[in-house]
Structure 1
Amino acid sequence: MSALTSSFHVVRYSAANAVADFRATYTWRSWTFGWLGRMLAQVTFFATMGLALHSSASAHYLVVGNSVMTCVVEAMTVVTSSAWERRQGTLPLLAASPARLIWVFFGRSLQWPVSGTVTSLVALLGLGPLFGVTWSPGQVPVLVGLVLLTAVSTYCVGLFLAAFVLSASNARNIVSNVGYLVMMAICGVQVPVSFWPDWVGVVAQSLPLTHTLAAVRGVAAHAGAGDIALRAGWAVLAGACWLGAAAVAFTRLQIHARRNGHFSFAE
């Protein structure tokens, strides 16, 4: 069996675990009226702040930014759910297995970017028009692709952080929350990236959200296809780099665990 085929099977089996976890976590009622309702309320709150400034442009900016941000919040849950393996006592067995940890954990939490994509699209297509942001039928497929790219590429950022949280699982919620809050602050969600000092802008450019959000705003503003494709391409590159960094971090973690018996069956 080739390495590619083997990795695919590992992701597939891990994704089955992700589906089971999601079903155990939510019913359709709790997801719709609990999680989705909470995220829509958050988007509405920030968009209303724009209206309070008597600026329709600010409302448009905030509703788009915070609608896209909802999938990032959910994708970053990978940091927390990856740490569950240590609490459940399966981490030592995974470290000893021949499978590469990166593919185990890539599939392990795929429920979050999938669910996050749906959440963002409901916010963009449902709440957006209420605040003056409308989408033509031809824009919707592009919007779906960009939101999915946002969720998956940001998921790769979360995987990188998860590799470190496995050695300090008590910090899982702090790292997850700080991770998405930093992106919310500097990637153009609430204020333009240019608002920040140049060095902060450099950090923002390394994060996929900066590029995908700019692309979504470009779709809303009827920008050219070339400009949108270029921004999406930068997001793909950034996401691939973060996935590569996560692979290196998980590999080093696995080697260290095998040599030193680093992982216990408890927190």
Structure 2
Amino acid sequence: MRYGFLNAVADFKATYTWKSWLFGWLGRMLAQVVFFTGLGGVLGQPGGVRFLALGNALMTCVVDTMAVVATTSGERRAGTLSLLVASPADPFWVFAGRSLHWPVSGTATALVALLGLGPLFGVTWHPSQIPPVVLLTALTALGTYCVGLFLAAVVVSVPRLRNVVSNCAYLAMMAFCGVQVPVGFWPSGLEALARAVPLTHTLHALRAVADGRPAADVLHPALLALLAGASWLGAAALALHWLVAVPARRAGTLDLSR
């Protein structure tokens, strides 16, 4: 996993310069936050601007982490997937470390949005609130990264769907996990699915921090997010093993679409 992360750092440096990340990627994400939060001002709902500012600022890290779906499929195009699968070692930890630059980048993006743009929309932070904000942002990035790893394991056999799946995943989270509307707005079935995603719980905890609520109101959803992320990580490990490694080793091929 350590060497996978070193490869991830090299990939990130090859993808972005500090200028392209700062003025390209970060600028795009901040514009997205401003756009959706601005819609809240047009609607005129009490507390709507604050609700949307927090939700869309934290959502920026999810957009980053869902890129793991595409970059994991990239191992197949690069010709390295066959070597990973042929190895007697478990390839999961290589994949888990191989794209860790996305949650790191996502955490940085969301923190800039929360701490930089938040005050423009009435979300101010006391210095004592900043540590839990940082921790919850990192937990969101890592938890949704685990969701992305599961989707990546499913999609690696059909790489043409990688961008479709990653985009649909983060758009579904944006719609159903409390970013734009409260989770309770949706029918009970969708609400139950939303609560299986770490973002739903970390966003609830973040709003508790912003409102100055007791520590228990923050800790409980944070623990639920941690549990959800661990569950997705386990599901990703099983999916990579049973959908990629086992079939490929048995068939002696990576043509898993047969």
Task: Answer whether TM exceeds 0.5 for this pair.
Answer: yes
Partner of 1:233: 223
Q: Is 2:161 the partner of 1:161? A: no
Partner of 2:102: 112
Hey, what's the Cα distance between the residues in 2 that align with 1:261 and 1:84? 20
Hey, what's the Cα distance between the residues in 1 that align with 2:89 and 2:177? 35
- Which structure 2 segments of 5+ residues have no match? none
Q: C-alpha displacement at 1:53, in angstroms? A: 2.1
Hey, what's the Cα distance between the residues in 2 that align with 1:156 and 1:262? 27
Q: C-alpha displacement at 1:165, in angstroms? A: 1.0
Q: C-alpha displacement at 1:40, in angstroms? A: 0.1
More deviation, 21-30/51-60: 51-60
**Deviation string, structure 1 residues 186-219 (Cα, Å, up to 9, x no partner):** 0000000010000101001111000000000110
Q: Is 2:130 the partner of 1:149? A: no
Partner of 2:236: 246
Q: What do you get for the CA RMSD once the two structures are aligned?
A: 0.8
Hey, what's the Cα distance between the residues in 1 that align with 2:44 and 2:177? 24
* Match 1:98 to one of 72, 85, 88: 88
Matching of residues 21-60 of structure 1 within 5 Å? 21-55=11-45, 57-60=47-50
Hey, what's the Cα distance between the residues in 1 that align with 2:46 and 2:191? 26
Hey, what's the Cα distance between the residues in 2 that align with 1:220 and 1:56? 16
SS at match of 1:138: helix
SS at match of 1:139: helix
Identity score, percent: 60
Hey, what's the Cα distance between the residues in 2 that align with 1:262 and 1:212? 41
Hey, what's the Cα distance between the residues in 2 that align with 1:178 and 1:100? 29
Hey, what's the Cα distance between the residues in 1 that align with 2:11 and 2:116? 28
Hey, what's the Cα distance between the residues in 2 that align with 1:261 and 1:71? 38
In structure 2, relative to structure 1, the CA distance for the partners of 1:56 and 1:130 (3 Å cut) is farther
**Deviation string, structure 1 residues 44-94 (Cα, Å, up to 9, x no partner):** 001111111234511101110000000001001000000110000111110
* Match 2:165 to one of 172, 175, 179: 175
SS at match of 1:167: coil
Hey, what's the Cα distance between the residues in 2 that align with 1:26 and 1:76? 17
Hey, what's the Cα distance between the residues in 1 that align with 2:171 and 2:41? 23
- Which structure 1 segments of 5+ residues have no match? 1-10
1:32 partner amino acid:
L
Partner of 1:8: none
Hey, what's the Cα distance between the residues in 1 that align with 2:74 and 2:129? 39
1:21 partner amino acid:
D
Matching of residues 131-142 of structure 1 within 5 Å? 131-142=121-132
Q: Is 2:254 the partner of 1:263? A: yes
CA contact 1:18–1:111 (8 Å) conserved in 2: yes
Aligned residue-pair number: 254
Hey, what's the Cα distance between the residues in 2 that align with 1:261 and 1:168? 18
Matching of residues 184-195 of structure 1 within 5 Å? 184-195=174-185
Q: TM-score, normalised by structure 1?
A: 0.94
Partner of 2:197: 207
Q: C-alpha displacement at 1:164, in angstroms? A: 1.1
**Deviation string, structure 1 residues 216-249 (Cα, Å, up to 9, x no partner):** 0110111110111010000000000000000101
* Match 2:116 to one of 117, 126, 144: 126
CA contact 1:50–1:56 (8 Å) conserved in 2: no
More deviation, 181-190/51-60: 51-60
